[in-house]
Structure 1
Amino acid sequence: MPEPSSIITHHSSFVLGLIGYPLGHSLSPKIHAAALSACGLQGTYSLFSIPPEDKQGLKDLLARVRGGEITGLNVTIPHKQNVIELMDELTPTAQAIGAVNTIYMRENKLVGDNTDAPGFLADLKKFIGSRELGIGKRKSAIILGAGGSARAVVYALCNDGWNVTLVARRIEQAKKLADSFANLEVRVVEYSSFIFNLSSFALIVNTTPLGMTPNIETSPLPENIIFAENALIYDLVYNPRETKLVKDARAQGLYATTGLGMLIEQAALAFEIWTDHNPPRETLYQAVQP
Structure 2
Amino acid sequence: MRSAQQDTGTDTGIMAFRMGLVGRGIRLSRTPAMHEAEADAQGLKCRYDLLDTEAGTDGSLAEILDRAENAGYAGLNVTYPYKQDVIAHLHQLSDAAKRIGAVNTVVFRDGRRFGHNTDFWGFSESLRRGLSNANLDSVLLIGAGGAGAALGHALADLGVTRLMIADTRTEVAQALALGVGPVATAVSNLAEAASACDGIVNATPVGMAKLPGTPIDAKLLSERHWVADIVYFPLETAFLKAARATGCRTLSGEGMAVFQAVRAFELFTGRPADPDRMRQTFRHLGEA
TM-score (norm 2): 0.86
Letter in 2 for 1:266: Q
Letter in 1 for 2:137: K
Residues 1:194 and 1:61: Cα distance change in structure 2 (over 3 Å): closer
- 1:262 equivalent in alignment to 2:260: no
In 2, the alpha carbon distance for the partners of 1:6 and 1:27 equals 25
> Match for 1:202 among 179, 193, 198?
198
Deviates more, 1:160-169 or 1:261-270: 160-169
Tell me which residue corresponds to 2:141.
143
Contact 1:198 1:226 in 2 (8 A): yes
- 1:236 equivalent in alignment to 2:230: yes
> Match for 2:207 among 198, 211, 234?
211
Deviates more, 1:260-269 or 1:107-116: 107-116
Contact 2:191 2:220 in 1 (8 A): no
- After TM superposition, give the deviation of residue 34 of structure 1 in Å: 1.6
- After TM superposition, give the deviation of residue 153 of structure 1 in Å: 0.4
Residues 1:273 and 1:8: Cα distance change in structure 2 (over 3 Å): farther
Tell me which residue corresponds to 2:159.
161
**Structure 2 residue matching 1:208: 3-state secondary structure:** coil
Contact 2:22 2:77 in 1 (8 A): yes
Letter in 2 for 1:210: V
Contact 1:38 1:279 in 2 (8 A): no
- 1:60 equivalent in alignment to 2:63: yes
In 2, the alpha carbon distance for the partners of 1:108 and 1:215 equals 38
**Structure 1: gaps (5+ residues):** none
Residues 1:86 and 1:215: Cα distance change in structure 2 (over 3 Å): closer
User: Structure 1 vs Structure 2: percent identity of aligned residues?
Assistant: 32
- After TM superposition, give the deviation of residue 22 of structure 1 in Å: 2.2
- After TM superposition, give the deviation of residue 128 of structure 1 in Å: 1.7
Residues 1:6 and 1:94: Cα distance change in structure 2 (over 3 Å): same
Contact 1:65 1:104 in 2 (8 A): no
Contact 1:17 1:45 in 2 (8 A): yes
In 1, the alpha carbon distance for the partners of 2:179 and 2:268 equals 29
- 1:224 equivalent in alignment to 2:219: yes
In 1, the alpha carbon distance for the partners of 2:193 and 2:117 equals 33
Residues 1:177 and 1:32: Cα distance change in structure 2 (over 3 Å): same
Tell me which residue corresponds to 2:172.
173
In 2, the alpha carbon distance for the partners of 1:13 and 1:157 equals 36
Tell me which residue corresponds to 1:185.
183
TM-score (norm 1): 0.86
- Superposed CA RMSD in Å reads 2.6
Letter in 1 for 2:128: K
- The 5-angstrom pairing of residues 44-193 of structure 1 reads 44-50=47-53, 57-67=60-70, 69-106=72-109, 108-129=111-132, 132-133=133-134, 137-162=135-160, 163-181=162-180, 183-190=181-188, 193=189
Contact 2:223 2:248 in 1 (8 A): no
**Structure 2: gaps (5+ residues):** 1-7
In 2, the alpha carbon distance for the partners of 1:201 and 1:273 equals 36
Q: Which has the larger radius of gyration?
A: 1
- After TM superposition, give the deviation of residue 105 of structure 1 in Å: 2.8
Residues 1:199 and 1:206: Cα distance change in structure 2 (over 3 Å): same
Residues 1:106 and 1:188: Cα distance change in structure 2 (over 3 Å): same
Tell me which residue corresponds to 2:17.
14
**Structure 1 residue matching 2:219: 3-state secondary structure:** coil
Aligned length: 275
Letter in 1 for 2:244: R
In 1, the alpha carbon distance for the partners of 2:206 and 2:26 equals 18
Contact 1:80 1:101 in 2 (8 A): yes
Residues 1:89 and 1:8: Cα distance change in structure 2 (over 3 Å): farther
